[in-house]
Amino acid sequence: MYANGSRAQAFLVIKGYHMGSAWFEEAFNKLPGVSFFFEYEHCLRDLAPAGSTLAPVMLTFRHLQQSCGSCAGQKRTTRCRACGVVPPPDGSRLQLATAGSTAHWPAGAAREAPCVATGISFAALGGPYWQHLVALRRLMPTLPVLVHVRSNLVKHALSYLRQACPGEKNHVTKAKERARLYVPPARLLLRVRSISYAQQAMLRRASQLAGGAKLHHIVYEAMQADLGAELRRVLRVVGAVPPAEPPPTERGAMVKAGFDDLRAALANFGELDGVLAPLPCLPKMLHATSPQVFPLKACEAVGDVLWEQRTQPGHGGLNLSVAREMARVEDFDRAASSTRGARPKELSPSNCEGRAEPLDPS
């Protein structure tokens, strides 16, 4: 219960990476009477008691019960605790640092608008994080579970690849000139395969966590097409009444830094067009010039087709030399990770300047 007497509808979002989730958080928190915290798992690490990997589940439970407002500009450990309302867990560094002091944990401040919804997202789903979420669902069995997805696998893959280039970001606060990239076909296809399988695994996990309840999607491309409508849809899904108007556009707000038309982004668009032509879904994704939601289930097969290239080069009609290059690149990355302790960047400096460069076979 909040200081103004309202009770917000809590919800949980399961997400991957490069989904536009920070953009979602910024826009959602501009709506009246709502609160959203991006990748709450960072809080669990920040506020873990000594000897523990994560903070106890009661921190997350109390945050969802009492949070209303993003308290932008405050330290993350303050934001993690419902803007400082929830005391830090016993044994955490913050609790030990303030033990015996006269610090007073506030009871919460009244807001102009009633609190209607408060949510958090998680990208980490392994081991202790999964156990934490399962425990949270036991405490909150009716907690709505949503999953943040991205349906254009080609553009999603490029959002990963281009971050190998200096100064490239997926969201910026103002428009900037973007370099055209040369993307080796094998690199693009390996990244498409990786994100396809990762997204499928994320959907399975989210469905398991929802316990058979309907799993609602927050769709990146739907956000691109009409951000206000997608935010209002999310509020309706979690059982809150959405505002009549979309969030205000403010100076400094995030904007998508990628290209809608990939012809302007890729120096070798024609080459990639030919390579992707026989594969399911990917050609339409490459050619999409405006936000378009692709059917997730229907496009799952592309991951399996690309996986088969290892043992059946050319499976599904893929160019044989590209299929063999995929195996060679994968072996090169594995060897480099083993000897150097880190994967090499997926694009070379020449690729970042729009030029092809053969993979160093050494």
pLDDT value at residue 1: 44
CA–CA distance, 61 with 238 (Å, rounded to integer): 17
**Mean pLDDT, residues 166-189 taken together:** 75
Look at 33-37, 44-48, 75-79 and tell me which has the smallest mean pLDDT: 75-79
Q: What is the dihedral of CA 15, 263, 266, 17, to 10 degrees?
A: 0
Residue 130 has pLDDT above 70, yes or no: yes
Which residue's entry shows tokens 């400096």?
Answer: 349
Q: The domain 9-153+209-256 is classified under which CATH number: 3.50.80, 3.40.50, 3.30.390, 3.40.1440?
A: 3.40.50
pLDDT value at residue 257: 54
Predicted model pTM: 0.87
The token pair at 138 is 């036991």
**Mean pLDDT, residues 150-174 taken together:** 81
Mean pLDDT of the chain, nearest integer: 85
Find residue 145's DSSP bridge partners: 12
Question: Which of 289, 334, 286, 301 shows the shortest CA–CA distance to 185?
Answer: 286
Enumerate long-range contacts of 224-232, CB under 8 Å, 24 or more apart.
224/20, 224/256, 224/291, 225/290, 225/291, 225/293, 227/27, 231/24, 231/27, 231/28, 231/31
Q: Where do the domains of the chain lie?
A: 9-153+209-256
Find residue 227's DSSP bridge partners: none
Q: Between the ranges 5-19, 236-250, 326-340, where is the mean pLDDT highest?
A: 326-340
